Amino acid sequence: MIISPLQKQRLQYNPKLPGMLRHGIKEISVKEGEETRSVADQEKIAALFPNTYGKKEITFEKGENTSPAKKQVVGVILSGGQAPGGHNVVCGLYDALKATDKENVLFGFKGGPSGLLEDDYLIFDDEYIDQFRNTGGFDIIGSGRTKLETEEQFAVAAEVCKKHGITAIVIIGGDDSNTNAAVLAEYFAAHETGVQVIGCPKTIDGDLKNEDIECSFGFDTATKTYSELIGNIERDANSAKKYWHFVKVMGRSASHVALECALETQPNICLVSEEVAEKKMSLAQISNYIADSVAARAAKGWNFGVAIIPEGVVEFVPEFSVLIKEINELLAGEKAQEFNALASWKEKYAFIENGLTKESMAVFAILPETIQQQLFLERDPHGNVQVSLIESEKLFSALVKANLDERKKNGTYKGKFSPLHHFFGYEGRCAFPSNFDADYCYSLGYNAFMLIQYGYNGYLSKISNLSKPAEEWVAGGMPITKMMNMERRHGEDKPVIRKALVELDGKPFKYFEAHREQWAAETCYLYPGAIQYYGPDEVCNLTTRTLALEKGE
């Protein structure tokens, strides 16, 4: 097989473990800490997880390994969207498992959680796993979005585990997948299957974090990849001085990715969805805010700029989410057929006008026609509008243009506005993991095996102190139930891991807020360049600005 020179080099990279895991398997002992409580709704969560609630947090340290000798047969699953470093979680898990006992076995369930239900797997060996070390992607076993959440699924999972003699399952996923990992762990314990479940925190979106989990893996590499591209665009904009670039970045709901990219590149504009919701900003207010920057820069002769738009922003605009709800109602059941049978857009428009409230129609009317039509074309299997497919970068540039046209008419703006559009999402999810993600992920996997070996169930693999060099990282585990609260989902109260949105009083946002006025009017671009894998420490082992600011560095 032909591989690129970089891949060849990366296969040789030796990921760094936290200091306390470096002395060899025989020298890893466990220290139990305090019993834990869920972040909220303690009584309800305790009642729902009688076997796994309230367990102690644990830390590993150098000392005699006192875990019982037991042959381990572990199954690993990659769940949800790709995130750089996933392969290294599997490699770390495999290496710890084999270092403990060569007879131990690692199963990889293919294509996400459905692989476990369908008993579709491979068994890892050195030759296979060695091709994937320090590489991006999830192609080692594939991923998928099937949710493991029903009793029937758990029963099938238990059967599959029994058939292969599986002693533990490791689920590598985001907040939803780890919530389901906790429920599965409770099921396995309640049914005395003897199978343990360990989770690992993954998602480029960065929204699986809390006082225990400092960041999810993949966020570092994905944001560095997008920031490289945004920096390049800034430099191009500053060279040609003729385009405004509207860059949408991934992050289904939280704006951590957009904010981190803004901190790394200092663009003229970055929207933060959580702020839009907090201030109840309308589409008109947001476009006016961007148009102010365009106009201020044009007054200096700068008809160029860069605006970062988080993928999920429209869902945070109150009037827009009301509009979406009304559209979903408007096309519910058979009404969709009636609508689709209408021959022209004019007729369809009249149907819409008839069905929406006056307020929502006013919002709908200001949208560019392509976006209006998108709202009626792209439906999910339940018939709902897929908000994530709305081209919000084009939506905002069109609204800004309309705003500037008005300003032109009243003589307050005389510039030229030529927008270009970009969407950076999939480009970042399978990049070669940065050294940080390569080390962090390998450590998460290695550590997950130590949690299994010491008999823990329903725990999340936890590596902390991440803004420091790997030597000083702290390895341990946290009961997943500690991160849970009750939330309303599909009309029911459910125990879930709380999704971490951008905190408007947090240090990363505060830093951005303190500088954005200057960035909007002046040209303060930063060009972070490509991820560096080799070379001086200060460029190879950088953590994110978000993490550094959160840690007060």
Q: How many CA atoms lie within 13 A of 370 on its CB side?
A: 11
Nearest to 403 by CA among 521, 191, 244: 244
Q: How many CA atoms lie within 13 A of 459 on its CB side?
A: 30
Active site residues: 205
In 10 A of CB 3, how many CB atoms? 12
Cα gap 382→354, rounded to integer Å:
23
Least Å distance, CB 81 to ligand FBP, is 3
For ligand FBP, give the closer residue by CB, 251 or 445. Answer: 251
Cα gap 107→124, rounded to integer Å:
6
- Neighbour order of strands in the sheet with 419-424: 269-270, 305-310, 244-249, 419-424
For ligand FBP, give the closer residue by CB, 167 or 374. Answer: 374
For ligand FBP, give the closer residue by CB, 28 or 184. Answer: 184
Tell me the CA distances in angstroms from 228 to 222, 262, 531, one per residue in order.
10, 11, 8
Least Å distance, CB 252 to ligand FBP, is 4
Instruction: Return all residues near 242 (Cβ < 8 A) that are at least 6 apart.
Output: 303, 304, 416, 418
For ligand FBP, give the closer residue by CB, 230 or 295. Answer: 230
Contact 201, 477 (CB under 8 A): no
For ligand FBP, give the closer residue by CB, 128 or 426. Answer: 426
**Cα–chain-centroid distance for residue 246?**
21
Q: Can you read off the two tokens belonging to residue 178?
A: 């780890």
In 10 A of CB 539, how many CB atoms? 14
Least Å distance, CB 204 to ligand FBP, is 5
Task: Label residue 301 exposed, middle or buried (CB < 10 Å: 0-12, 13-18, 19+).
Answer: exposed
Least Å distance, CB 76 to ligand FBP, is 16
For ligand FBP, give the closer residue by CB, 80 or 92. Answer: 80
Cα gap 394→378, rounded to integer Å:
16
Least Å distance, CB 218 to ligand FBP, is 7
Least Å distance, CB 89 to ligand FBP, is 13
Residues interacting with ligand FBP, by CB under 6 A? Answer: 80-81, 83, 174, 203-205, 250-252, 311, 388, 429
Q: Amino acid identity of 253?
A: S
